[in-house]
Homo-oligomer: A and B are copies of this chain.
Amino acid sequence: MHKIVILRMGHRPQRDKRLTTHVALVARAFGADGVIIAGVRDIGVERSVRKVVELWGGPFFIRGGEDWEKVVQYWRSDGGLITHLTMYGLPVEEVLPSLRGKDLLIVVGAEKVPGKVFAVADFNVAVTNQPHSEVAALAVFLDRLFYGAELKKEFLKWKLKIIPGKKSKKVQKMP
């Protein structure tokens, strides 16, 4: 299996807690291996994501406080590609064929991202060229990368699992 890791840039603990948490939960639910928060550590975000992994299953990792350029360097030296999600990039459907079957570091910004990121990325990829949400861009990107297979992904070591229902809220608990 190829590694898919999200690099979250520009996280500001005062403002971005919930959006960064959503980025991480989307990464997990849509089949990525983990998320790295660049620059700062936010224990609150890490804790809520780990709580979800503990209850709903994994594997999935979250790390924080790492220098983004070092993460990128390391990833590249290991043979992986750097993919930056941005509304300025090339259409996702054009780029995806070049990305499948590779180890991908997916860079996702909060508000503005340093111009250097555009230069360093192997691919700048747009999920629509309209302003919307990094959470949405990541979800659609992963959904298309995996051809929707992640919608049926089974997690390991879960304590809670939903039994899909027409009108119900049914949750199975690990005995």
Report A's interface with B, CB cutoff 8 A.
15, 18-19, 22, 25-26, 28-30, 52, 56, 87-93, 115, 118-119, 121, 124, 126-133, 135-140, 143-144, 148, 150-153, 155, 161-162, 164-170
Contact = CB atoms under 8 A, between A and B. Distances in A.
A143 B133 CA distance: 14
- Counting from the closest, the 4 A-B pairs by CB-CB distance are A136-B139, A22-B133, A29-B130, A129-B162
A96 to B, nearest CB: 11
Given A29-B128, A91-B151, A136 B22 contact: yes
B18 A166 contact: no
A167 B124 contact: yes
A151 B164 contact: no
B168 A118 contact: yes
A48 to B, nearest CB: 10
Given A29-B128, A130-B153, 10 more contacts: A30-B136, A88-B168, A115-B169, A126-B164, A127-B151, A128-B150, A128-B151, A130-B155, A133-B135, A136-B139
Contacts of A56: 130-131
Contacts of A22: 19, 132-133, 135-136
A132 B26 contact: yes
A170 B88 CA distance: 7
Contacts of A92: 151
A132 to B, nearest CB: 4
Contacts of A132: 22, 25-26, 28-30, 139
Contacts of A137: 139
